[in-house]
Amino acid sequence: MPTLTFPDVPIAQAHWSLVSNTQSMDSDLNGSGQDLALPGDKWALQITVTDLMGREARMFSAFVNSLRGRTGRFYMIPPGCGTPLGTAAGSGVVSGAGQSGSTLVTSGWTPNQAELFAVGDYFQVGNELKQITAAVAASGTGTATLQFTPPLRTSPANGAAIISVNPKCIMKSVDNNQAGYNLSGPRIYAFQQSYIEAIDL
């Protein structure tokens, strides 16, 4: 099944979040605990789409139904965050293979950018969506080290593109019961949807 593109519909409300994957262990003896951060954090989204009528309503209903529950996949841009606050000037790429963790050495940017990325900007590398956690400047040679969350799941290839405008991740429905809609007169449709990032094997 091909990965779909989320339709261009007005979103009345959106709740975007990062669901961290952690493990907690508490001692029965003294109450002390340990919390571990594990790989596999996922982006999550709950949206309300309202006031759709006619062709637009049927188009969105068809999109939702075509996902067939949790089996469908689609690309999603973080709501309201398609454009970076930093300049993101140049054509950034991964500089060096085998990188992991929450930092990434990159090159190919326009030199001497004081604020290449601002804190909170998003970027995409491969199919992974990341959020910048520290302001990034580009050096005089166009290199920059990005700090972000969540950590990389896989090491990107040397030369892989850094996408800064309309970065996205692949998402799916949280369960098999997302295909319904509310209908009020005269024929006004409303949809409530819950999605989670798809990390496929």
pLDDT in tens, 62-101: 999 999 999 999 999 999 999 999 999 999 999 999 999 9
pLDDT reading at 33 higher than 90: no
Please tell me the distance from the alpha carbon of residue 108 to that of residue 87, in angstroms, as a whole number: 14
pLDDT in tens, 140-160: 999 999 999 999 999 999 999
Mean of the pLDDT values across residues 22-27? Answer: 88
> What pTM was estimated for this model as a whole?
0.91
Domains of the chain and any CATH numbers: 4-77+170-197 (3.30.200), 90-163 (2.40.30.290)
Mean pLDDT score across all residues of the chain: 95
